Structure 1
Amino acid sequence: MARKPKTTKAIIPVAAAVQHRPLAGTNIMPVEVYRVPGRHPAGDGPWSAEPDKVSWIDPATAIPCIMRRGTDGALRGYVGVGPDHPLAGFGEEALPHDPPIVVHGGVDYASPCEEYEPHETSVCQVRVPRAAEGRSSTPLRPPFDACTMVALAMLPDELWWFGFSCNKAYDLVPGKRHPDPLGLENGRVYRDERYVVRETTNLAAQLHAIAEGLEMPELKGERPPVGLSEYDQVPRR
């Protein structure tokens, strides 16, 4: 099995964190669900009942996916590919433009597993969660199906992650709820769990097509044009 990152006492067990339910708008059961108080936005909003990190195996491609919240309160989506993928090891600026990979704001993250970061906030191996420290070390009973268990067992030891961030000039960022004039002109929208899961699934489908030499798939939903605002380098955390 893959090498696992360290755990910390800050990890909240799934059963005590957020209701383990199908991902928003889908019938996919996540592998991990974490609520991280230090990352969760203050105040009421569409984020109130959302988790702060969710991982799952995309059923259409068997590719691992992660949604996590950054320190600014905005959600981000990530897709992991194995070392045999044609784009493994590529930086975000080296990705192909013909055809382009289309995702919210463009791909702005390309990195190996953050194996030394706390698991509840890291982009790393998707794993079956365990009970809280001090309790039984037996894995919690997985709420997902056998196909997901098989996909987890077949994941390579090393993954290369590509991701996107929902903290662009046209996004409402919970930690920065004082939009500047440009933001007001563009109209800021909070990109919620449903939106980020959909975009992450779209990214997984495109990376799968590249690996298999297939035509790029038709994407679900709509997203703002990447050129709507000037590109700003986004902090990875």
Structure 2
Amino acid sequence: MAKNRIGATSTSPSTALATIKRKALTPSGEVTLAKTLGSEGPLAKMPGTGGEVIHQSGIVRVTGRDYATDAETVPASEIYFVARKKLGNSGPWLNEADKVAWIDPRTGYECIMLRHDPDGFLSGYVGVPEDHPLFGWDHEAIAPEIGIDVHGGLTYSRICNDEPSPQWSLEAEAHRICHVVVGHASLNTTDDRVHSGQWWLGFECNHLYDVVPGRPQHRQGFMGAETHAEYRDDAYVVREILNLAAQLKALALGEPVPARDGPPLPSIGLDPKRGG
């Protein structure tokens, strides 16, 4: 099989400092944060005490706290909440984070859960280092026989999204698929980040068999009964990210791909865009 290698080089971002201040996430700070986020629901996703919070242009970033789904708690390095028009009056997405970045302790790989604007569906990404056998591969060139088995199949393959920027901003960081911050996040675009090249492989939850919060009139809506469409929440997506990380680690070690954790995946064939 031919290897389709794409742009395996990366540029360094600007070192411009942001003109915003960190604040300790004290009990009184949590009350203020709940008001900012519109409810106490998001706080339940961040167990424990302590940490730091910063705000900028309707975006909140929390560091120093884990992130908990209904099924898994991950050692989050960064947790983002992005102010946006509410996608309906109810739904699990209203209390979920919009981006969570962490390093998976079982594989050592960098992981990101990210919500897409304006439709509100979640996606997942795992970064692999330059010595990984799939580093630089286009996701469409990765044969099923390799053993990657993730929701909807791989839909993303790209080097770190760390183009130079004249000014650091939470807006950029909240949507960037790039290196995970190690320890407490800096207000500098380069401090505390892992700088070796990372190739990101990922998947999206916006297929025919997925409920997309921002597209109630899309065909996912009126074909939902036929495809058993449902919203893929943070618990589902985090589990898929961890499954993908485990599969990629096994490939790196030359070991058999491990069995998936969780229920069987929807058939890609249910979506004509993917399965024909």
TM-score (norm 1): 0.79
Instruction: Report the more deviating stretch, 185-194 or 101-110.
Output: 185-194
Find runs of 4+ consecutive structure 1 residues off by over 6 angstroms. 5-8
CA–CA distance in 2 between the matches of 1:231 and 1:163?
Answer: 17
Say yes or no: does 1:107 pair with 2:154: yes
Q: Evaluate the alpha carbon distance shift between residue 175 and residue 92 of structure 1 in structure 2; reply closer, same or farther with a 3 A threshold.
A: same
Task: Report 1 or 2 for greater relative contact order, CA contacts < 8 Å, sequence distance ≥ 6.
Answer: 1
Partner residue, 1:78: 125
Q: Could you say which residue in structure 2 is the equivalent of 1:122?
A: 176
Pick which of 162-171 and 26-35 moved more.
Answer: 26-35
**Whole-Å separation in 2 of the counterparts to 1:82 and 1:42:** 39
| Structure 2 residue 199 is matched with structure 1 residue 157 | no
- The Cα of 1:42 is off from its aligned counterpart by 4.6
Q: Is residue 110–residue 127 contact of structure 2 (8 Å, CA) maintained in 1?
A: yes
Q: Which residue of 2 aligns with 1:144?
A: none
Aligned residue for 2:244?
203
CA distance in 2, matches of 1:7, 1:199: 35
Q: Deviations over 1:194-224 (max 9, x none)?
A: 0000000000001111111000001101221
Mapped partners of 1:88, 1:186: distance in 2: 34
Aligned residues, how many?
212
1:175 aligns with 2:214: yes
2:270 is equivalent to residue 231 of structure 1: no
> TM-score, length-normalised on structure 2?
0.68
Listed one character per residue, the Cα deviations across residues 92-151 of structure 1 (whole Å, up to 9, x for unaligned) are 1111321331000000000111113811111011114236x9xxxxx9xxxxxxxxxxxx
- One-letter code aligned to 2:185: P
Determine whether 1:22 maps to 2:76.
no
1:88 to partner: Cα distance: 0.6
Q: 1:129 to 1:156 in 2, by over 3 A?
A: closer
Matches of 1:47 and 1:22 in 2, distance apart? 14
The percentage of aligned residue pairs carrying the same residue is: 38
* Structure 1 counterpart SS, 2:101: strand
The letter for the 2-side match of 1:231 is K
Distance between the aligned counterparts of 1:39 and 1:97, measured in 2?
A: 39
Q: Which runs of 5+ in 1 are unaligned?
A: 134-138, 140-151, 233-237
Q: Is the 8 A contact 1:107 1:163 kept in 2?
A: yes
SS at match of 2:89: coil
Q: Is the 8 A contact 2:78 2:101 kept in 1?
A: yes
Asked if the contact 1:74/1:173 (under 8 Å) is kept, the reply is: yes
Q: Distance in 1 between matches of 2:91 and 2:80?
A: 18
CA–CA distance in 2 between the matches of 1:40 and 1:130?
29
Shift, 1:185, TM fit: 1.7
1:139-158 equivalent positions in 2, closer than 5 A: 155=194, 157-158=196-197
Cα distance per residue 1:29-48 (max 9 Å; x no partner): 21100011248735321111
Distance 1:43 1:112 in 2: 37
